[in-house]
Amino acid sequence: MELFLMTMITGIMVGGIYALVALGWVLIYKCSGVLNLAMGELTLIGAYVTLTFYEMGIPFILAVILTLCVGIVLGFLTERIFLDKLIGEPILSVIMVTVGLSFFFKGLVEFIWGTDTRVFDPPIFPIKPLTIGFIKISPVYLWSFILAIVLLVIFVCFFKYTRWGLSMQATADDETAALSLGVSARFVYAAAWSIAFMSAGVGGALLGNINGINISVGYLGLLVLPAVVLGGLNSVPGAIVGGIIIGVLQNLSGTYLDKYFPGGVKEIMPFAFMAVFLLFKPYGLWGWERIERV
């Protein structure tokens, strides 16, 4: 029971970070209908940018805030340079551009930072685990989870209570109606990419504190896809719940199945679960069901 509870709690905490990255997937899909396959590389860039600021002597929290600022700029530039001309073009064309962006960003990261594993030195969080009753929790998981939840609350409040956030929701619900009311689709798409860079970047920084930073952090960003599909591709609450479910599922499978199926069952299980889940709920838990009548 002790092992089970520790595995569940760790899974929930890692799932909170996955939920933060999943938010970037959902935002771009809600606003443009595009599945951004470069999200893993956005996570990777954010991890290295935060590490670079930290190595310059900047405190970690301030480095995260600066990473958010860099994410705004990079997201805006990416949308304007690569995707702005594709507004109104077939969705498949835009998706293929995101595939090209994933290779471009990965090559850029390897060129600037190399491929060796790097860690935050000195460590940001204490190594000694926190003990609550018979449960031991690593501080890096706990504080990463708290920071991820704080950022998720900020993003959700932004969408519900600010003019820009409401404009993004209006464009996602009905682009033609939003345009008729004076909402700029170009601004909405640029804002979506900026927030995606921000959420994925901070998620990458938090994951980098847990496992160290190398090119595999990009794969961890792609691992969030089952969480997005589970919750619903256009549901922000679904992204949060899906991230936590996938975090728990991954930890449970790693704890209980690795000894029977050695060789990475922890990484495979979320995708296997996603494939089975789609057979019964093709639109996810809270995804919009599209009904076409002829």
| Domain-located, residue 292 | no
Question: Confidence band (pLDDT; 50, 70, 90) for 129?
Answer: confident
Asked if residue 143 has pLDDT above 60, the reply is yes
Question: Which domain CATH number covers 68?
Answer: 1.10.3470
Could you tell me which of 158, 269, 210 has the C-alpha nearest to residue 14?
Answer: 210
Q: Which of 16-25, 107-116, 180-189, 246-255 has the lowest mean pLDDT?
A: 180-189
Peptide bond preceding 90 in cis form (omega within 30 of 0):
no
| Domain-located, residue 293 | no
| Domain-located, residue 286 | no
Question: ∠ at Cα 83 (78, 86), nearest 5°?
Answer: 175
Asked if residue 279 has pLDDT above 80, the reply is yes
Domain total in the chain = 1
Asked if residue 170 has pLDDT above 90, the reply is no
| Domain-located, residue 285 | no
Asked if residue 208 has pLDDT above 60, the reply is yes
Proportion of the chain above pLDDT 70, given as a percent: 95
Asked if residue 62 has pLDDT above 90, the reply is yes
- Name the residue range of residue 84's domain: 2-280
| Domain-located, residue 91 | yes
Q: Which of 52-66, 77-91, 103-117 has the lowest mean pLDDT?
A: 77-91
Mean pLDDT confidence for 126-143: 79
| Domain-located, residue 275 | yes
CA–CA dist 19, 13 (Å, integer) = 10
Residue ranges in the chain assigned as alpha helix (H): 2-32, 39-55, 60-78, 91-113, 139-161, 163-173, 175-180, 185-211, 217-222, 225-231, 236-256, 265-280
Mean pLDDT confidence for 262-288: 82
Mean of all residue pLDDT scores within the chain = 83
| Domain-located, residue 93 | yes
| Domain-located, residue 289 | no
